[in-house]
Amino acid sequence: AQSVSQHNHHVILSEAASLELGCNYSYGGTVNLFWYVQYPGQHLQLLLKYFSGDPLVKGIKGFEAEFIKSKFSFNLRKPSVQWSDTAEYFCAVNAPMGNTPLVFGKGTRLSVIA
C-alpha cells in the first residue's frame, strides 16, 4: 500500500526566507506525485504535479518540487516565501493508471512571519 511521510509538522519562517518541505513516499511502482495547499478556511488547491519527464516541476505561486526517484522523495521548494504563503501543505501520491485515489501525507503547516 502507498504511504506518504511529511517530516515537518510545523515550519515557521520569516518573509523572504527559503522554503523546503520534505515528502517521502512508499510505493513499489510508478507514481504520480502532487503538492496541494490549503489556505486557512479554504479548500484544497493544486500547487504542482509530477507524472513523468523532467523531475524538476514548476508550479503556481513560485513553487517547485523535485522528484528524486532513488530517494522516493518529492520535496517542495520556494526561494523566497511571503506572508501570504501561510497555509497547510499536503503531499500526495497515486498510481498512474487512473481510477486510483490519492494518498495524502499528514501535512505541514507553514507560518510566515513578517
**Region binding another protein by CB under 8 A among candidate stretches 20-28, 55-63, 73-81, 102-110:** 102-110
Rounded to a whole number of angstroms, the minimum distance from the CB of residue 80 to another protein is 26
Residue 52: CA atoms inside 13 Å, Cβ hemisphere, count?
5
Q: Of all helices (H) and strands (E), which one includes residue 44?
A: strand 44-50
Among 27, 10, 39, which Cα is nearest to 103's? 27
Our finding on whether 90 is near another protein (CB under 8 A) is yes
Q: Are the CB atoms for 24 and 5 separated by under 8 Å?
A: yes
Site for another protein in 15-34 (CB under 8 A): 32, 34
Q: Are the CB atoms for 92 and 2 separated by under 8 Å?
A: no
Query: Binding-site residue total for another protein (CB under 8 A)?
Result: 22
Cα(112)–Cα(114) distance, rounded to whole angstroms?
7
**Region binding another protein by CB under 8 A among candidate stretches 15-23, 45-53, 56-64, 65-73:** 45-53
- Judged by CB under 8 A, the residue of 43, 53, 70, 114 near another protein is 43
Q: Interface with another protein by CB under 8 A: which residues?
A: 32, 34, 43-44, 46, 49, 51, 90, 92, 94, 96-107
